[in-house]
Structure 1
Amino acid sequence: MSKPSVLFVCVHNAGRSQMAAGWLRHLAGDSVEVRSAGSEPADRINPVAVEAMREVGIDITANTPRLLDHATAESSDVLITMGCGDVCPVFPGKRYLDWQLDDPAGQDIAAVRLIRDDIRTRVEQLIAELPARTG
C-alpha cells in the first residue's frame, strides 16, 4: 500500500505551508506523506506561526524552510499552492489546489490564529477527498 503525497508550497515556506503540513500530519497521521517547500525559503519558520500551532498542541519547530525542487513536486500526488504565483511548477496529471490565504508574515497572533483555523478547515476537507493509493 502506497500513501498519497501532498506538497504544500508558499513563497517562504515559513508560515502557511508549515502550518498546513503540521495540520495534515496531525490529522491524517501516517496515512499521507506530507511535504512542504517554498519558492524563496526563509531562514526560519515564522515564530508567530509556531506559537499559533503550539496553542493547538502541534509542534512545528523541528521543520525548516526548504527550497521547492522539481523532483519533489513531480513525485507529489497533490500540490497545494499558497501565494507563490508563477514560480510554482506545473506538471501534467497532478491535482492542483490554490489556497488563497493571507500571509502570516508580519501579522500579530490574532491574525495568525484566523489563518491557522482556516488552514485546518481546508486540510480536513482535503483529507476527506484523498483516496488511498495502492502501488
Structure 2
Amino acid sequence: MSGSKPVVLFVCVHNAGRSQMAAGWLRHLAGDAVEVRSAGSAPASEINPVAVAAMAEAGVDITGNIPNLLEYDDAYAADVIVTMGCGDACPVFPGKRYEDWKLDDPAGQGIEAVRPIRDEIRRRVGDLVADLVPGRAAG
C-alpha cells in the first residue's frame, strides 16, 4: 500500500451515481481506515439526485459530494482503482490493482431501480473493506 492506509479510487464516466455511492459506502463502512476518492472521465455538473436519495434511505449522506475530473495524481496515488461502466473512457494506469464492477447505471432511473444498484455496491464495498482492512467489520 502507498502509505499508512490504503487509497481507493472509484471511477465512472460522469462521477455522479455509481462511483459516488461506492465512495459514500466506503467512507461509511471503513471510516478513516481507508482514504476514499472518486472521479470521472467526463464528470457531470452534479450528483444524481436519485442516487443521493437512495443513499439517504440507507443512512449514508452524499449530498456534499461533487463530481470530480479524473486526474493523473489521483490514479497514481491509488492502491486500488475500481471502475464502473467506463469501457474505454477510463484510462489504465500500469501497476495498479484494478477491479471492474459491472453495475447498471442509475442515470435516468427511478428510486426502485436504484435501490438494488445501491445494495449491490454496498455488498461489493463490504468485500473490499474486508480485504483491505483485515479485522474491520464491514458493517
Q: When the two structures are superposed, what TM-score results if normalisation uses the length of structure 1?
A: 0.94
After superposition, the C-alpha distances for 1:33-81 in whole angstroms (9 at most, x for unaligned) are 0000001100000000000000011110100001001111111000000
Q: Does 1:94 align with 2:92?
A: no
Distance across 1 between alignment mates of 2:133 and 2:93 = 20
Unaligned runs of 5+ residues in structure 2 are 135-139
Q: Could you list the runs of 4 or more consecutive aligned residues of structure 1 that deviate by over 2 angstroms after TM superposition?
A: none
Letter aligned with residue 37 of structure 1: A
1:67 corresponds to which residue?
A: 69
Q: How does 1:11-50 map to 2 (within 5 A)?
A: 11-50=13-52
Distance across 2 between alignment mates of 1:57 and 1:92 = 36
Q: 1:70·1:89 contact (CA, 8 Å) conserved in 2?
A: no
Unaligned runs of 5+ residues in structure 1 are none
CA RMSD in angstroms comes to: 1.2
Distance across 2 between alignment mates of 1:89 and 1:129 = 24
How big is the shift at 1:88? 1.7
How big is the shift at 1:28? 0.2
Identity %: 73
Letter aligned with residue 106 of structure 1: G
Letter aligned with residue 33 of structure 1: E
Letter aligned with residue 125 of structure 1: D
Distance across 1 between alignment mates of 2:89 and 2:5 = 27
Q: 2:12·2:41 contact (CA, 8 Å) conserved in 1?
A: yes
Count residues with an aligned counterpart: 132
Q: Does 1:57 align with 2:59?
A: yes
Letter aligned with residue 25 of structure 1: R
Q: Does 1:7 align with 2:46?
A: no
1:83 corresponds to which residue?
A: 85
Distance across 1 between alignment mates of 2:51 and 2:76 = 28
Q: 1:73·1:89 contact (CA, 8 Å) conserved in 2?
A: no
Q: When the two structures are superposed, what TM-score results if normalisation uses the length of structure 2?
A: 0.92
Distance across 2 between alignment mates of 1:108 and 1:126 = 27
